[in-house]
Amino acid sequence: MSVMKLPGAALLALCLWLSACASQVVTGVSAIADADCAGHEAIVWQPAAPSIWVWLPAAEVELAEANGGHVAPTAVVVDGEQALVVDPGPSHRHGLRVRESLRCQFGARVTWVVNTHAHAENVLANSAFADLQSAGQLRIGASQATRDGMTRRCPDCLASLIRRVGEAAMEDTRIVLPDVTLETGTVLRVGQRELTVWAVEQGHTEGDLVLWDASHGVLFAGGLVYGQRIPELAQGQVDAWLAALERMAALPVREVIGSTWSSGSAGQLPPAMESTRGYLSALRSGVLRAMDEGAMAQDTSAVPLPAYSHWAGYSERHGFNVLRAWRELEPVWMEQDAAPPVSMPGSVEQPRR
Ligand SMILES: [Zn+2]
């Protein structure tokens, strides 16, 4: 679709939400006449709901030089001349592109950046908004746990991301911390739109922020909902994550935007919510079963999940998830009375009780 000239972003959003337009993708909207925009690199924004747009990665893959760290969606809420960015991305360059796109394609200025959780590919693009934050023109919000996690881990995760995607993609990226603590019930306003902090969970990380747009049934779930990629459990907890998914499933969710974008239909929840729950449930039951059979924690091959082996990151991350889940679930297994005796004494190591 070529660059369109429309009176404003609101009309554009309305147009695109109509069925005649909804299947199209916005590559450019020249809402303001600005010479600086002549050379800007337009983003292909896809409409998820009125005023809500998503910039998807090219594919559901692992971090690599080829994708510059863009492995999770960047979402924006645009109303009038204001914009809110949910998880600005992995790098200064990525964040600048978002900022310029909102200015040039929507005629909007970013007033809010929200960090759903403390992972490098989601938060390091805060860097591109640091000058606005310093000038008091923009706030960066996150849970206290995410701010603490960024303080603790971001120096290492910035170095790690540079190693994985290369120095060029990460040029000028520096750690910029949130300046506003968001808590359950906090309402964020963007023009006439309102987003509610529905919960701060402890599933994918120590403080996963969930934003809820009740008027359109859009849930911003951060890292709590994955697509066809193996969930990252390094800072997470299986049982807390499953509980968070259960609470989210009680909402009338039509669109979920997290580590993927997934749409519900005919009153059904977006399928990514169920598939994420499916993987974590299989991981949990597989680890407990392996314990019953006397396997050892380091034997990650004892918990194969072939149904998920085609997901991106299976070979890189599933074994680690087994270790992580094992550490969490061992006390659970030791306390439960249901663990059956080992069927072949002497042939396998006895489980510790
Ligand atoms: Zn994450």
DSSP string, 163-200: HHH-TTTTTT------SEE--TT-EEEETTEEEEEEEE
Q: What is the pLDDT of residues 16-27, one digit of tens each?
A: 443 333 333 444
Q: In the structure encoding, which two tokens stand for residue 194, read together? A: 């309102």
How high is the pLDDT of residue 40?
A: 87
Instruction: For residue 16, report the distance from its CA to the centre of ligand 1, in Å.
Output: 30
Of 85, 301, 52, the closest CA to residue 176 belongs to: 85
Q: Which residue ranges of the chain lie beneath pLDDT 50?
A: 1-31, 33, 341-353
Strand partners, 265: 268
Rounded CA separation 269/277 (Å): 12
**Which secondary-structure segment (H or E) carries 141?**
strand 139-142
Confidence at residue 34, expressed as pLDDT on a 0 to 100 scale: 66
Output b/e per residue, 38-67; b: 16+ Cβ within 10 A: eebebbebbbbbbbbbbbbbeebeebeeeb
- Per residue in 221-256, pLDDT (tens digit) is 999 999 999 999 999 999 999 999 999 999 999 999
Ligand 1 centroid–CA 172 distance in Å is 22
Query: Residue 241, exposed/middle/buried by CB under 10 A (0-12, 13-18, 19+)?
Result: buried
pLDDT at 275: 97
pLDDT value of position 266: 83
Residue pair 93/82 in contact by the 8 Å Cβ criterion: no
pLDDT at position 272: 98
Q: Residue 120 C-alpha to ligand 1 middle, in angstroms?
A: 8
DSSP H helices, the chain, are 9-17, 19-22, 92-106, 120-123, 130-134, 144-165, 238-249, 271-292, 319-335
What's the gap in Å between 118 CA and the centre of ligand 1?
7
- How would DSSP label each residue in 37-82? GTT-----BEEEETTEEEE--SSS----GGGTT--S-EEEEEETTE
Residue 327's pLDDT is what? 96
Ligand 1 centroid, distance to 119 Cα (angstroms) = 5
At position 206, the amino acid (one-letter code) is E
326 closest CA partner among 289, 278, 353: 289
Q: How far is the CA of 233 from the centre of ligand 1 (A)?
A: 9
One-letter identity of residue 12: L
CA 160 to chain centre: 19
Rounded CA-CA distance 217/122 in Å is 23
Q: Using alpha carbons only, how large is the chain's radius of gyration in Å?
A: 22
> How far is ligand 1, taken at its centre, from the CA of residue 8, in Å?
34
> In the prediction, which pLDDT does 5 show?
31
What tokens appear for 95 in the block? 């964040």
